[in-house]
Amino acid sequence: MSCCNNTYDLGCYNHCQNIEVLLDGINPANDYTFVTSFSGSQIIMLLAVSQNDAGENVLVIDTCGLNENHCYTGQILQNSQPLTIEVDSVVYDCFSFKIVPKAVVYCPPVETNPPEECTPCDAIEQCAPECEQPEVPPDCLTQTQTDDC
């Protein structure tokens, strides 16, 4: 993975919750991957192309194979080329998200008239602040963006 110039925070998600990423020009005929790392090992995930409720093509990151309580930062590649997104005149070349433990539904024991519905805990709203950026290797600070960084 090459150096990240700007990282777009996709937010926090439960374990095994799919992340949908809307980018311009998504073509189902192309191959898309998300390249990240965990504990020093590179992870390359094949992304599915799906349609959201508005009928737009979106990339789907399946988080089931990722560890909980961890922030992932990486690049989305189309046929091995990094994709970018522009938001408020800023071009983002990397994406980050945090996997939080699944929200637990808790219903206290009730002797009579049990509640019809339980509400999930605030696990998602208590998500950690923005993901910390990984340390940039020193040679990335002095070189132009290369695949070595």
pLDDT in tens, the chain (149 residues): 678 899 999 999 988 899 999 988 898 989 999 999 999 899 999 999 999 999 999 999 999 989 988 999 999 999 889 999 999 999 999 999 999 887 543 444 544 444 454 444 433 333 444 454 444 444 444 333 333 33
* Contact predicate 99/13, CB 8 Å: yes
Query: Which CATH superfamily does the domain covering 7-142 fall into?
Result: Immunoglobulins (2.60.40.10)
DSSP count for the chain of H helices, then E strands: 1, 10
pTM of the model: 0.67
Determine which helix (DSSP H) or strand (DSSP E) holds 142, and give its type and residue range.
helix 138-142
